Amino acid sequence: MATVVDPVASSSGKQVTLGAALSATELCVVQRAGAGTRAGVWRMALQPLNGDGTGWPALTSALHELSRTLGTNGGRLHVALMPPLTEIRRLDLPPMGENELRMLLSRNASRYFVGARSAQLVGTSMAPQRSSGPSGGVMAAAAPQRLVAALHAAAREAGWTVDAVSPAEGAWCSAASALWPATSRQASHLLVCGEDRTELLQLEQGRLSGVRLFRAGAADAALVAEAIGPADAAQKAPAFARVTAIGVAAQRKDLARALSSAGLTVSSPPPEWAERADHPDLLAAEFAGPNAAPLLRSEATVASRRERARRIMTRMAAASVALLLVAAMFSLWGAKRQLRAVQAERAAIKPLISATLVGRTSVETAFRQLAALAATQRSAPRWSSVIAGLSVRLEEHAYLTSLRARDDSLLVEGIAVRASKAYDSLVLLPGLTSVHAAAPVRLESPQGGPALERFTIAAVVAPSGAPVRTPAPATSAWKVTP
C-alpha cells in the first residue's frame, strides 16, 4: 500500500532524478527540492526478493506506480541499501589499485564479511586517516550480487535507470556533513538509532572511517561511550558537534540521556531537519548518490561507465579538433583580412611612393652626373695653361703651324731656324711630359728666304694637381731630312 507525503508537482513526460532507500520490505523514494518543486516522499511496502534471484516483481510494480504518481516516463535513481541488505566495515589491507582490491574482496567475500553467504558485489573507498589509531585502510561494503542485479532489472523494466547504488551508511555520512557542517572539518561520530539496532559511524573530516553496531536504545550505552572515547582538548569548543544522532526519536533520546551521564553531549538535528531526521531511511534516500561512498558497482556497470567515459572522451576530442579547425579558420580569415587591409593601404599610397621614387631617382642621377663632371673636371688637362705656356716659352725664331689635342695627348707642328731649340722649349714647359719627336725634322726653303727646319713634336699633358717636374734641358741630336 502506497503512502505519499507532500505530493510532488511534476509535469507529464518529464524525467527526474530521485533518491531511494531500499530495504527488504519497503521502498522509500524522495524527490529532492528543486526550482519550483517541493520535496516529496513516496513509500511502498514490498514483497521480498524471489528466492532464486530471477527477479523482483514487487519492486517493478512499485516503480511503475511511482512513474504514474509522478507523471513521468521514468528517470534516474540513486539507491541506498538499508541494513541488513549490505555489510560495511573497515579493512586494513596493503596498498593496491581499486580494481585489484574489488577483485580480491569479491573472491574472498566470506573471509572479510560475516554475512556473506553467496556471491557478493563489493564496493570500496579509501578510508581517511584516523585522528587516533592506525592509519590507512579502506572502507569496504558488500551486498549480494543477485540483489543488485534484481534491482537493476526491475528498474529497467519500469523505465528507470539506476545511476548509483551505495550502502545507507555512505548516505548518512553525507547527511551529517549537511546537517552539521562542522563535522566536515574535524573528527566526529554519528549515531543512527533504529528500531532494532544502533550504528556508530566514525567520521574524519566528513568521510566515513569506521562503523560499529550496538543494540537499540540505551542497552549498550556504556559500550557506545567507550567506543567514542573522551573528548580531546581541541574538540571542547561549544560550536563543535562531536557526537551527533539521527533516527527514531524515542531510541535517540534514551541513548542521549544515557551518554550524558557518561559526560558525552549528543547534538540533535537542526529544526529544519528534525522531522526527516527521525526516519533514517528518509535521510538515506535524501543523500543517496555518487558521493555516498563506497559505491557498489557491478562489472556491467563498470564496463558501461567505462564505455560512457570513452564516448565522452571521444566527443571531447572531436569537439577539440572541431574547435581547433574553427580557430584556424578564424585565424586564416583574420590574416587574409589584415592582408587585404595592408594591400589597400599600399594601393592608396602607391602614387605618393612612385612620385617619391621618381624624384629620388632624378636626384640620384643628377648627383651621379655632377660627380662625373667633377671627376672629369679634376682629371681634364688645362689646355689654356698649355697654350699660354707654348706662346710664352716657345723659342722666338720658331712658329707653330698646327696644334692638335686629343684626351691628354698633344701634337704640334711648326718651323724654326733650329728645331732643337723648339724641342728644348717644349721639354721645359711645365705641365708637359713625355715630350718626343713624332716625325723627322725636314728642311724647307721658302721662296726668297733662308732654309728652315719643320718639326713635329708630341707630348702628354700632365693631369691637374700632378707635381710639376722641370727636367734639365736636353740637347737632342736631331736628324735633319732634306
pLDDT in tens, 404-436: 888 778 888 888 888 888 888 888 888 788 888
- pLDDT of 135 > 70? The answer is no
Q: For 33, phi and psi rounded to 5 degrees?
A: -65, 135
Q: What is the CA radius of gyration of the chain?
A: 59
Amino acid letter, 239: A
Q: What is the mean pLDDT of residues 86-115?
A: 88
Q: What angle do CA 353, 356, 362 make, to 5 degrees?
A: 140
Q: At 406, which helix (H) or strand (E)?
A: strand 398-406
pLDDT on residue 481: 59
In sign, the C-alpha dihedral spanning 304, 309, 314, 319 is positive
- For residues 434-448, give the mean pLDDT: 81
Write out the three cell numbers for 254. Answer: 534514551
Q: How big is the CA angle at 97 (ends 94 and 98), to the nearest 5 degrees?
A: 110
Grid cell 505530493 is found at 7
Query: Phi and psi for 66 in degrees, rounded to 5?
Result: -60, -45
**Residue range 374-403: average pLDDT?**
77
pTM reported for the whole predicted model: 0.64
- Name the least confident of 11-20, 28-37, 193-202: 28-37
Average the pLDDT over 363-380 and give the result: 80
Dihedral class, residue 172 (left if φ above 0, else alpha if ψ from -120 to 50, else beta): alpha
The model's confidence at residue 27, banded by pLDDT at 50, 70 and 90, is very high
Residue 281 has pLDDT above 60, yes or no: yes
Amino acid at 428: L
Q: Picking from 9-13, 174-178, 192-196, 450-454, which range would have the lowest pLDDT averaged per residue?
A: 9-13
Distance (Å, whole) CA 246 – CA 279 = 8
pLDDT over threshold 70, residue 233 = no
**What is the SS3 assignment for 193?**
strand
The grid cell for 364 is 640620384
CA 396 to chain centre: 106
The two beta strands, 432-444 and 452-461, are: antiparallel
Q: Is the pLDDT of residue 303 over 80?
A: no
Is the pLDDT at 238 greater than 50? The verdict is no
Mean predicted confidence (pLDDT) in 185-189: 88
pLDDT at 243: 92
Q: Which residue has the cell 563535522?
A: 183
Give φ, ψ of 451 to 5 degrees: -75, 135
The cell numbers describing 323, all together, are 574547435
Question: How long, in residues, is the chain?
Answer: 482
Write down the pLDDT at residue 167.
Answer: 95
Residue-level pLDDT at 297? 85
Q: Which three cell numbers stand for residue 247?
A: 533516527
Q: What is the pLDDT of residue 1?
A: 41
Q: Between the CA atoms of 102, 132, 256 and 288, what dihedral angle is there, to the nearest 10 degrees?
A: -30
Q: What distance in Å separates the CA atoms of residue 454 and residue 13, rounded to the nearest whole number?
A: 138
pLDDT at 336: 93
Is residue 191 scored above 60 in pLDDT? yes
Which amino acid is residue 373, in one-letter code? L
- The model's pLDDT over 316-364, given as tens digits with 9 standing for 90+, comes to 999 999 999 999 999 999 999 999 999 999 888 888 888 887 778 888 8
The pLDDT mean for the chain works out to 83
Beta pairing partners, 148 = none
| pLDDT number for residue 474 | 47
Q: What is the end-to-end Cα distance of the chain in Å, rounded? A: 166
